[in-house]
Structure 1
Amino acid sequence: MSSTPDSARGGTATLPRPEVIRHPDVGDGAAMWRVARDSRRLDLNPPYAYLLWARDFAATSLVAEVDGEVGGFVSGFRRPEAPGTLMVWQIAVDESCRGRGLAGQLLDELARRTGAHTLETTITEGNPASIRLFESFARRQGAGHHVTDLFGAEHFPGEGDWQPELLHRITPLRGTG
């Protein structure tokens, strides 16, 4: 899945921080879906998927509350074959909350809370803002950032205009040994 940062800088700004960064619950699923939909960059899953994500993957996902509303989220999971690896599925920030460095704050906090050794995500070449976000995250972590092919156009169904997904692997994350 593509990832969407909150700004072209991809780094944290000196603007006000969100009121709360916390793990989601089922009550956040609809807001997560809305933020993803409104980003116009993510592959939008059905609302049901965000409800399940908020229930079953809450420990590896975060929401940011701004003015009492979900202003952004990051969803992830630990890879079953590599439990030290956190796979970031989606990251999105509401348009009203962009420019605060919120996407970077969500990634930093998720890495801290999960204690993961490695972070992976996939990004298409046509999403330079997300590429900059994860490059900035790697620099803040003092980690290596390696990009390789993961899913080519031939892996996707014939319908649609699917872009190849590149695997971004950032390791070792700070504080994980």
Structure 2
Amino acid sequence: MPKDSFTTRKESLLLRKPEATDGAAIWELVRACKPLDENSMYCNIVQAEHFRDTCVVAELDGDVVGWISGHLIPNKDAFFVWQVAVSPKARGLGLGKKMLSHLANRDECADADHLKTTITEDNDASWGLFRSFARDIGGELTDEPHYEKEVHFDGQHDTEHMVTISLPRDEAEVLRAA
């Protein structure tokens, strides 16, 4: 099996690098996962093509049910997770953590010693996902206000906290346990 894909025996779940042709399905998934910010379909097509090495699509029985967009932060040993989307029909499978672990273990992300993301204070689902992921991998989670409501968003969006999780790297690949 290619290193960029992952399947489970319990269900026909496939984790893989996206293709440009996944853009429309990714866009529809994000639209169905309120309150995620909707980007244009074109943005999702570009992400799927240009950032495929640091993004993941999850398929269940051939349908796109999960998506993480991310990128390596230039000049830093960190991987940034922009968006996590899990379809309601795939909830309860631990898909968010499976996709995070899958990305953190890709060769393209091997030099990253931290995972970063931004989360608003009231986004309980995201806080739960990233706290659970950090616990499972034995990573330390810290946060601080980063993109501020008045300074960056002209009062139109709540402050986004920069969440940083240390990524332990050892022979046992503790990330695979997540």
Q: TM-score, normalised by structure 2?
A: 0.85
Distance in 1 between the 2:84 and 2:17 partners?
A: 14
Find 2:13's aligned residue among 8, 12, 19: 19
Aligned to 2:126: 130
Find 2:140's aligned residue among 140, 144, 159: 144
**What's the CA shift for 1:21?**
0.4
Q: Answer yes or no: is the 8 Å Cα contact 2:149–2:155 preserved in 1.
A: no
Q: Answer yes or no: is the 8 Å Cα contact 1:142–1:174 preserved in 2.
A: no
1:99 has 2:92 as partner: yes
1:172 has 2:158 as partner: no
- The AA in structure 2 aligned to 1:37 is R
- The AA in structure 2 aligned to 1:136 is S
Q: Gaps (5+ residues) in structure 1?
A: 1-14
Q: Percent identity?
A: 37
**What's the CA shift for 1:141?**
1.2
The Cα offsets for residues 45-95 of structure 1, whole Å up to 9 and x where unpaired, read as 11110000001100000001101011101110000020x200000010111
The Cα offsets for residues 82-119 of structure 1, whole Å up to 9 and x where unpaired, read as 0x200000010111111111111001111111222110
Aligned to 2:105: 112
Structure showing greater relative contact order (alpha-carbon pairs closer than 8 Å, 6 or more residues apart): 1
- Cα–Cα, structure 1 residues 175 and 57, in superposed 2: closer, same or farther, change >3 Å? farther
Distance in 1 between the 2:125 and 2:17 partners?
A: 25
SS in 2 for 1:122: strand
SS in 2 for 1:108: helix
Q: Answer yes or no: is the 8 Å Cα contact 1:60–1:77 preserved in 2.
A: yes
Aligned to 2:69: 75
- The AA in structure 1 aligned to 2:142 is H
SS in 1 for 2:66: strand
1:35 has 2:35 as partner: no
Q: Answer yes or no: is the 8 Å Cα contact 1:86–1:119 preserved in 2.
A: yes
Distance in 2 between the 1:92 and 1:36 partners?
A: 6
Q: How many residues align?
A: 162
Q: Gaps (5+ residues) in structure 2?
A: 1-8, 174-178
**What's the CA shift for 1:27?**
0.9
